[in-house]
A and B are shown apart, each in its own frame.
Chain A
Amino acid sequence: MKKILCALAIVALIAVSPVFAGGQQEKEDGPITITFWTHEDPNRTEIEERYIAEFEASHPNITVERVTQSSTKIQELVLTAFAANQGPDIFNMSIEDEYAYIVNGRVAPVDAEAAGYSSTSSLVGSYLEGSLDPVTLDGKVYGLPLELTNWSLYINKKVFKDAGLNPDTDYPKTWEEVAEVSEKLVIRDGDIVTRRGFDFRYPYYLVSMVPMVEQLGGQLISDDGKKAIVGDEAWLSFLEYMQMWGPNGNNLGSPTYKNARKLFNKDNNDIAMAMTGLYQQGRIRADNQEFYDSGEWMVVPFPVFENAVNDTAACYYGHYYMVNGQKSAAQQKASWEFIGYMLSHGEEYLKTVNIIQPTTELLESETYKNMPYSDVFSADMERGHVVYFGEESAKLQELIKGAVESVMLSGVAPQKALATLRAEAQELLDDM
Chain B
Amino acid sequence: MRQKTKTKSIEKHLSHWGITFVLPSIVFFSLFNFYPILNALYTSFFKKKVLSLAAPEFVGLKNYIYLLTSANFWNSIRATAVFTIGTFLPLLLASLIFAVFITSIKRGNKFYQMAFYSPAVLSSVVSAAIWLLIFDPRGLGNQWVNNLLGTHGTDHNWLADAMMVQLSTMIVYFWKYIGYFIIIFIAGLASIPKSLYEAARIDGTSGWQEFWRITLPLLKPTIVLVSIMSMLQCLKTFGIQYLFTQSGAPQDPINVITMNIYNTGIRDHRIGRASAMSIILFIIMLVFTWIQFKSSKSDEVEY
Contact = CB atoms under 8 A, between A and B. Distances in A.
Interface of A: 1, 5, 8-10, 12-13, 16, 72, 75-76, 79-80, 82-83, 100-101, 104-106, 188-194, 202, 247, 254-258, 391-392, 394-395, 398, 401-402, 405-406, 409-410, 424
Nearest to A395: B268
A194 B162 contact: no
B252 to A, nearest CB: 6
A194 B50 CA distance: 44
A135 to B, nearest CB: 16
A19 to B, nearest CB: 10
Nearest to B29: A9
Contacts of A424: 72
A316 B65 CA distance: 39
A190 B138 contact: no
B128 interface: no
10 contacts: A5-B19, A8-B27, A10-B30, A82-B51, A83-B271, A190-B153, A247-B155, A255-B160, A256-B157, A394-B267
A297 to B, nearest CB: 24
Given A257-B137, A410-B161, 14 more contacts: A79-B51, A79-B269, A106-B51, A189-B153, A190-B152, A190-B154, A192-B137, A192-B138, A247-B155, A254-B248, A256-B137, A391-B269, A402-B252, A410-B253
B42 to A, nearest CB: 14
B52 interface: yes
B51 A193 contact: no
B50 A191 contact: no
A104 B154 contact: no
Contacts of B26: 5, 8-9
B31 A12 contact: yes
Nearest to A258: B136
B86 interface: no
B251 A394 contact: no
Interface in B132-152: 135-138, 142, 152
Contacts of B199: none
Contacts of B35: 13
B155 A255 contact: no
A1 B19 contact: yes
A105 B159 CA distance: 41
B51 A409 contact: no
A107 to B, nearest CB: 10
Contacts of A105: 53
Contacts of A392: 268
Interface in B181-210: none
B248 A104 contact: no
- Across the A-B interface, give the 8 residue pairs with the lowest CB-CB distance, nearest first: A190-B153, A255-B248, A191-B155, A104-B51, A12-B27, A256-B159, A9-B30, A405-B250
B63 interface: no
A382 to B, nearest CB: 32
A13 B31 contact: yes
B114 interface: no
Nearest to A80: B266
B301 interface: no
Given A83-B50, A398-B263, A13 B30 contact: yes
A402 B271 CA distance: 22
B137 A406 contact: no
Contacts of A10: 30
A25 B137 CA distance: 52
A187 to B, nearest CB: 11
Interface string B37-51: 000000000000111
Nearest to A270: B138
Nearest to B152: A190
Nearest to B12: A1
Nearest to A247: B160
Nearest to A97: B267
A190 B269 contact: no
A111 to B, nearest CB: 21
